[in-house]
Structure 1
């Protein structure tokens, strides 16, 4: 599975959006360095939602960067990310089977963070419509359906929509979220209508990557499926 976390950085710090699967931290940090972050400090971590392929790398990222970067997420997924309620799509049996396949140190790190947490993982919650001071302005768009607290993010300076799992891309074409892992598909498609308020040149889907050209029209087409 290829995934597409996103970083934003300037001359002083960088921000990470989503953290990959358990064990993803070394690869993400190395790619961030290659992109130009160098030795800049990690300013914050924004989680688009609670799914394991988005939050699983969080313990490794925090451990490798000193643990001082605040973690931001929507209240709708806060309890699952904090480990005080189960992940929506991950039964205990499925999670146990998955963790058996990862290295012991990664498994222990994950269990300490999400199964037996000593502290909340979310330092601050996100509000629909707020603008975060990262990369010149990052607007939070609450797009529930894939999970209750799913958010997408609009980077105004570059007119880029960071869609999370609100949409997926395949061969440069946008479609709605994966129905097999979207509990409320009707709500998820309805959420896409919020994107009409933004002038979007590019979309980054966590699954599928970058899509450019005619994206406003493509998003409107997908949203009409609701």
Structure 2
């Protein structure tokens, strides 16, 4: 019943010694959809890892950027040298990705801007071989930060709404990287309402934890 084999996560870079970045490729009838890329210089890692699901960079037809930080979006310009994929981001994130505004975390520097072809709204669903992949707004870490839920496979692509690079196997957003922490914690509550078996975090990668752990995180913030 579960089709996680169509959802592939792989490390594309490292922003600190203890903080890796994780892109996800989701298979579709048209080729892979990439969810986030990695920082500048990460396309080589993408190319290697995409061979696992028997794909090439040029097969990628859609890139979904969960938010405007340089670690998930920095490699976009280089990626588009290899593919004519459609670039999609929440409409609140599009001006930052496209260079109309500097990234909110300006200390990371201005990565090469890329035009956003599709500024999506809440509730967009992307057909995939793992089941429909639904956009879930998880605001707080960034103005239009999103996660993606593949409910038929029990998989959550959490972006930066949750992390898995600390002592706990799955944790809420980190205050030092989250401009609107109260809003980000409210977004955890939104994720807690979903039925999730397996979580893939942008920082920390695969975690075999889901709804029960996310509800624990939500309950902690309410107490």
Name the TM-score, length of structure 1 as normaliser.
Answer: 0.82
What is the number of equivalent residue pairs in this alignment?
201
Structure with higher Rg: it is 1
Instruction: Report the secondary structure of 1:5's partner residue.
Output: strand
- Structure 2 gaps of 5+ residues are 1-13, 15-19
Q: Per the alignment, do residues 144 and 27 of structure 1 end up closer, same or farther by CA in structure 2, a change over 3 Å counting?
A: same
Dislocated runs of 4+, deviation >6 Å:
none
1:13 aligns with 2:27: no
Measured after TM superposition, the shift of residue 5 of structure 1 is 0.5
Q: CA deviation at 1:132?
A: 1.5
Cα 1:208–1:39 shift into 2, 3 Å: closer
TM-score normalised per structure 2: 0.84
Task: Report if aligned partners of 1:172, 1:210 keep a CA contact under 8 Å in 2.
Answer: no
Deviation larger for 36-45 or 138-147: 36-45
Mapping for residues 21-170 of structure 1, pairs under 5 Å: 21-38=39-56, 41-65=59-83, 68-91=84-107, 95=109, 110=111, 113-114=112-113, 121-135=115-129, 136-169=131-164, 170=166
Partners of 2:161 and 2:188 within 8 A in 1:
yes
- Shift of the alpha carbon at 1:11? 5.4
Asked if 2 retains the 8 angstrom alpha-carbon contact of 1:21 and 1:56, the reply is yes
Runs of at least 5 residues in structure 1 that lack an aligned partner in the other structure:
97-109, 115-119
How far the C-alpha of 1:171 sits from its partner, in A, is 5.3
Q: Determine the C-alpha separation between the residues in 2 that align with 1:47 and 1:194.
A: 20
Larger strand share, 1 or 2: 2
